Amino acid sequence: MKWPFAVEERSLTSAAGDPHAAVTLQAAALVLAYPEAELLDRLDVVESALSDTPAVEQFAPVLAHLRSRPLGELQAFHVQEFDLSRRHALHLSYWTDGDTRRRGEVLAEVKAVYRDSGLVVDLDGELPDYLPMVLEFAVADPERGRALLERFRASLELIRLGLAKDDLPHAGVLEAVCALLPGPSPRTRAEVQALFGEIQPVEFVGLNDVVRS
C-alpha cells in the first residue's frame, strides 16, 4: 500500500494515543490493502509488532494466508474478494449510501476531514473512504481518524459479518478494528440495522440492501 499521508512512515508504532490500538490499526491498513511485494517482505515485522497486542490471534489467519501463496495468487484473490464482489467492499460509504446521490457528498466530507487535519493526502486514484486509507489516517491523526471509524461503524460491522460468513482469513482483522470502538459488536446484520440503520436518512440504500440479502 502506498502511504498517502505526508508523515514519516512508522515502524508500526505511534507516539500518540493507545500504542496497541495504533499498531492494530496500522497492521490492519497494511493487510487489507491490495498486496504488494513490500507487504510480504514485512510480514515478520507486522507479526512482531502485533505480538504485544490483544489482536495478535485475530491477525494470525490473514498472516498465514499472505504467507501461503505466491504474490500473483494473493493479488488475484484480493481482486476477486474485495474489488469484484460487493459482499466485502472496502469503501465504507458503499454500505451506508449505496449508489445514491448522497454518497458524493459523504466522500467530499471525508476528504474535508483529511484536509482539516493538515496532512498532505495523495489519494493515488482511490476514493477517500477506502478502509485501509481510513485506518492509516486513524494512526496519523487519532482523534479525527477514530471519529471517522465511529461514523462508519455500521459499515465496519457489515464488512466484518460478511467476511466471517464467507470464512475469509481477513475476518479477524475487522474484529480487531471493531473491538477498538465503543460498545460490543452486533452479532447479526439485523442487529446492525437496529443499532445503526435507524439513524440513516431514508434515501440510503446500501445498508438496507445488505441487511435484506
Fold for domain 19-207?
TorD-like (1.10.3480)
Predicted confidence band at 31 (pLDDT cuts at 50, 70, 90)?
A: very high
Q: What is the mean pLDDT of residues 122-147?
A: 92
pLDDT for position 3: 41
Q: CA 180 to CA 183: how far, in whole Å?
A: 9
Sign of the Cα torsion 64, 52, 133, 208 reads positive
pTM metric for this prediction: 0.84
Percent of the chain residues past pLDDT 70, beyond the cut: 83
Q: What is the mean pLDDT of residues 68-82?
A: 97
pLDDT for position 197: 65
Predicted confidence band at 123 (pLDDT cuts at 50, 70, 90)?
A: confident
Residue 204 has pLDDT above 80, yes or no: no
pLDDT for position 209: 44
The dihedrals phi and psi of 5, each to the nearest 5 degrees, come to: -100, 140
Rounded to the nearest integer, the mean pLDDT of the chain is 84
pLDDT for position 200: 45
Residue 160 has pLDDT above 70, yes or no: yes
pLDDT for position 205: 43
**Which among 20, 4, 12 has a CA at the least distance from the CA of 180?**
20
Q: Which residues pair with 5 in a beta bridge?
A: 121
pLDDT for position 10: 43
Q: What is the mean pLDDT of residues 160-181?
A: 96
- The widest CA-to-CA distance across the chain, in whole angstroms, is 46
- For the chain, domain boundaries: 19-207
Higher confidence at residue 148 or residue 190? 148
Q: Which residues pair with 130 in a beta bridge?
A: 91
Q: List, in sequence order, every beta strand (DSSP E) within 73-196.
A: none
